[in-house]
Structure 1
Amino acid sequence: MSLLNTEILPFKATAFHNGDFVEVTEQDLKGKWSVVFFYPADFTFVCPTELGDLADEYEEFKRLGVEIYSVSTDTHFTHKAWHETSDTIAKLQYPMIGDPTGRISRNFQVMIEEDGLAERGTFVINPEGQIKIIELNDGGVGRDASELLRKVKAAQYIAAHPGEVCPAKWKEGAETLSPSLDLVGKI
C-alpha cells in the first residue's frame, strides 16, 4: 500500500538541532509544510553531499514555510559528533533526528531490515500531516535539493489552487493546467 496521501504515524525521537538535543514528534510536522529526508548513515559518502545540498538551500525552504528533518538510524549523539567533525555537516541548521530503533524508518516504509539502515527516502508532508510527495533513491544515487524545492513549490501551489495541476518541469510562476474534458487529447 502506498503512503501517498496518508497521515504520518505517531513517533517520538531525539534530534540534534542547533547545538542541543530536542524531542521531535509527528505533531511537530503538522501545522506547516515539512520534508522528512531519510539517509542511510552518518560518516558515509553520498549522505553528506545530500545533507550539505539541503543546507545550501535551507533558507529558501524556510522562506516557503518548510521545515526539513533529516533522519537516519544513527543516534542523536552520533549526529552531534558528525556535526562537530565535518565542515559540510556543520552547515546544517535543520534537525537531525536519530532513529536507532527504526520506528520512524518503518513508519515511512524505508527500513532496510537486514542492514538496520534507512533507504534514501524523501517525503513532503502538508500542514495537515498528509504525505504529498514520496521519492525513493537507490543507495548510490544522491538527491538534488533544487529539484525538491521545485516539487515542494508545485505541491504548495496545487494545495492553494484546487482544480489546477502542475505539468512536467513546472516552475514557480509558470502556467498550470485546469483538467477538463476540453483538454482531453489536446496536450
Structure 2
Amino acid sequence: MLTIGDKFPAFNLKAVVSTDLKKAFTDISSESDKGKWKLVFFWPKDFTFVCPTEIAAFGKLNGDFNDRDTVVYGVSTDSEFVHLAWRNNHADLKDLPFAMLADIKRELSQELGILDKAEGVCLRATFIVDPEGIIRFVSVNDLSVGRNPAEVLRVLDALQTDELCPCNWQKGEEVLKPAA
C-alpha cells in the first residue's frame, strides 16, 4: 500500500458531479484542481449501509475542506452510472457537494494497494494529498467500520500548520515549540 511520502498515482476517471442528467458526468484527473490539497476517500460499494453515512458526513464538512483550499473526491469501483442512480435514490446523497469518481477498472485502487483481497472492492481508505501530489496522511478501516470525517479535517488542519501538533490538537490551539 502506498503511504506517507509517496506520490499519489496519476489517474483520469469518470465522475458524477450532479443529479441533473445533462450535467451529471465529467472527467476528473490527477491534474484537476492542481495546486490544491486533496482529500481522496474510498468506499467499498454503492447501495450499501455504512458508506452513505460516511459520504454524507464528508459532504456536510465540504465547506470546511473548501475553506482550507482542499478539494474532496469520493471514489469506489462502481461505475458513474451506479453512482448517479445511488445519488438519485438516496436522500442523503442527492445534494452531495463533491465528485463521486468511478474506478471501474480498479487501476487507482490497485496502484494504491487498497483493494480488499477477499471481496475485490476498496477498503475504507482515506488519503490527504498535499499540493505537490505527496501523500501526507493515510487511514484505512475494515469494511464494516465507518471513519470519522471530523478527525480527517483535524489532521488536515494540523498538516497545514507545518508545525509540530500534539495529540488531540485543534485548529487555533498552540503548537509545540522545540527548545532552541
TM score, norm. by length of structure 1: 0.89
Query: What amino acid maps onto 2:13 in structure 1?
Result: A
- For structure 1, the residue ranges without an aligned partner over 5 or more in a row are 159-163, 183-187
The TM-score with structure 2 as length reference comes to: 0.92
Q: Say yes or no: does 1:155 pair with 2:164.
A: no
The structure with the largest helix share of the pair is 1
Which stretch of structure 1 is more off in the superposition, 18-27 or 117-126?
18-27
Identity of aligned residues (%): 35
Q: Give the match for residue 178 of structure 1.
A: 177
Deviating beyond 6 angstroms after TM superposition, the runs of 4 or more aligned structure 1 residues are none
Please name the residue that 1:80 is paired with.
84
The answer as to 2:128 corresponding to 1:116 is no
Structure 1 counterpart SS, 2:32: helix
Superposition deviation, residue 28 in structure 1: 1.7
- Structure 2: stretches of 5+ with no match in the other structure: none
| Rounded Cα–Cα distance in structure 2 between residues aligned with 1:2 and 1:125 | 12
* Cα displacement (A) at 1:32: 0.1
Residue of structure 1 equivalent to 2:25: 21
Structure-2 separation of matches of 1:88 and 1:140: 20
Please give the secondary structure, in 2, of the residue aligned with 1:147. helix
Mapped to 2, the partners of 1:30 and 1:154 lie a distance apart of 21
Instruction: Decide whether the 8 Å contact of 2:3 with 2:137 is kept in 1.
Output: no
Aligned pair count? 176
Letter in 2 for 1:119: L
Comparing 166-175 with 112-121, greater Cα deviation is found at 112-121
Q: Could you say which structure has the larger radius of gyration?
A: 1
Q: Do 2:56 and 2:93's aligned partners in 1 also have CA atoms closer than 8 Å?
A: yes
Q: How far is 1:2 from its partner? A: 4.7
Query: RMSD of the alignment, in Å?
Result: 1.4
CA-CA distance at 1:39 after TM superposition: 0.4
